[in-house]
Amino acid sequence: MSHILDEIENRKWIKTAVAVARKATCERSKCGSVIVKDGMIIGEGFNSPPGGLESRRRCRVEKSTFDRKVTDKTCCVHAEERAIMDALRKHPDKIVGSTLFFIRLDERDEPKRSGEPYCTICSKMALDAGIAEFVLWHESGMVAYPTDEYDALSCRYGSTT
């Protein structure tokens, strides 16, 4: 069951995610993630085109121009995906049971409150890697979702049922 985290205790992880997000090169949305286990960052990531290939950029392409079968209409690797890959590369023995903190920046590069969980690409990858919790910063505070709950909510996003 999701629960609100102590903001003072966890503020440093969000602040670090903000610093990481400021490295993002996406022209549509700047995001950052850090993965934490046992009081240390084991992975971090920001959104940008894969492999630094800026020539693959399509941030400004209208999403409705893509075929419906294209499930991810951005050109960028998501911050969460990149953080998971970083953790698996640097600390594969620590990723199981870890916590992923995610932040999005506004147009002034300042932290922005999150909406509801919606990315099944990231939720499935986090589940498969063994991440225990997925943290978003909502109006109500920092909310930690067990990753299976985050995935279920993401799958239902936008559903009227």
Q: What CA–CA distance (Å, rounded) separates 22 from 43?
A: 16
Per-residue 3-state assignment (H helix, E strand, C coil) for 74-129: CCCECHHHHHHHHHHHHCCCCCCCCEEEEEEECCCCCEECCCCCCCHHHHHHHHHH
State which CATH number among 3.30.420.40, 3.50.50.60, 3.40.140.10, 3.40.50.620 fits the domain covering 3-156.
Answer: 3.40.140.10
| Domain extents in the chain | 3-156
Instruction: State the DSSP H helix or E strand holding residue 39, giving kind and residue range, or none if neither.
Output: none
Q: How confident is the model at residue 51, as a pLDDT? A: 79
Residue listed under structure tokens 């063994």:
130
The residue assigned the tokens 């693959």 is 56
Q: What does the block give as tokens for 9? A: 């205790």
CA dihedral 78, 108, 59, 36 (to 10 degrees): 0
CA 52 → CA 75, 81, 84, distances in Å?
Answer: 11, 15, 17
pLDDT at 127: 97
- pLDDT digit of tens for each residue in the chain (161 aa)? 999 998 888 999 999 999 999 999 988 889 999 999 999 999 999 999 887 666 565 556 566 665 565 555 566 899 999 999 999 999 999 999 999 999 999 999 999 999 999 999 999 999 999 999 999 999 999 999 999 999 999 999 877 55
